[in-house]
Amino acid sequence: MTLDLFAELEQGMGWREELDAGAVVLRRFALPRQAELFAALERITSQAPLRHMVTPGGFRMSVAMSNCGACGWLSDRSGYRYDALDPHSGKPWPPMPQAFLQLAQDAAAAAGFAGFAPDACLINRYEPGTRLSLHQDKDECDLSAPIVSVSLGVPATFLFGGGQRADKCRRVPLAHGDVVVWGGLARLRYHGVLPIKAAQHPATGSHRINLTFRKAR
């Protein structure tokens, strides 16, 4: 086991943990690509800054968000939706960088979802104390495509629940470089993030960054 683990780590593949049918954590999968990811992230957020969106109910979201790709996820007083334009600039969201696309496709394939073609990447930035309450990702047209969710920076506890909000959640610790993929039977699982604990990470300071890849259209 230990030798396999080292061999896999050396190949930059990390190791995998099945959460359930259709759901897997690819431990440290993004680690070998972090330099390209952060360089691309910098370019994206200089064009489409991270901002606090407002929920349809009028609450300011504590997680700061931006997007890249053909369409971006938005929340405002009129609801949740995908839009090709960033309302901040009135211009299209920055294109999805090749490093992002390749990572998402490779992670999906490693989880058993070959041919994933994401057109949206939501960027979430968590400060200490911020959380993401339980929700389903269901604003996408094509539910046959999985979700690929990349964790960077300070650790988090991911909640992975069932098909109903009240179902019991698994608590999954996520570290820098971990990638969670869920699709198929698991595609509409409730999920969320517990409040981020104060910590420091060399790559992100006190923040946690999450990249969520989806096929929205």
Residues within the interface to ligand SIN (CB under 6 A): 122, 124, 132, 149, 151, 158, 191, 193, 210, 212
Q: Is 208 annotated as a binding residue?
A: yes
Please indicate if the annotation marks 137 as binding a ligand: yes
CA distance 152 to 175: 7
Calculate the alpha carbon distances from 73 to 20, 84, 121, 123, 212 in Å: 27, 9, 8, 9, 10
Q: How far is the CB of 137 from ligand SIN (least distance, A)?
A: 6
Residue 196's nearest CA partner among 63, 65, 66, 30 is 63
Q: Does 178 bind Fe ion (CB under 5 A)?
A: no
The nearer residue to ligand SIN, 67 or 149, going by C-beta atoms, is 149
Orientation angle between helical segments 34-47 and 98-110, nearest 10 degrees? 130
Amino acid letter for position 125: R
Q: Count CB atoms within 10 A of the CB of residue 95.
A: 13
**Residue 130 touches which of ligand SIN, Fe ion, none (CB < 5 to 8 A by kind)?**
none
Which helix (H) or strand (E) is 110 found in, with range? helix 98-110
Q: Cβ neighbours of residue 166 under 8 Å, at least 6 residues apart?
A: none
- Measure CA 198 to chain center: 20
Task: Tell whether 33 is in a known binding site.
Answer: no
Shortest Cβ distance from residue 112 to Fe ion (Å)?
20
Selected from 106, 119, 137, 178, the binder of Fe ion by CB under 5 A is 137
DSSP letter, residue 195: P
Point out which span in 12-20, 68-76, 97-105, 130-138 binds Fe ion (CB under 5 A): 130-138
- Binding segment for Fe ion (CB under 5 A), chosen from 16-24, 42-50, 102-110, 134-142, is 134-142
- Least distance (Å) between residue 137 CB and Fe ion: 4
C-alpha to C-alpha distance for 113 and 147, rounded to whole angstroms: 10
Q: Is 38 annotated as a binding residue?
A: no
> How many residues of this chain bind Fe ion (CB under 5 A)?
1
Token couple for 194: 């517990």
In this complex, which beta carbon is closest to ligand SIN, that of residue 8 or of residue 139? 139
105 binds, among Fe ion, ligand SIN, none (CB under 5 to 8 A by kind): none
Q: Which residues are annotated as a binding site?
A: 73, 80-82, 124-126, 135, 137, 139, 165, 191, 208-214
Q: Which residues are annotated as a binding site for substrate?
A: 73, 80-82, 139, 165
Residues at the interface with Fe ion (CB under 5 A)? 137
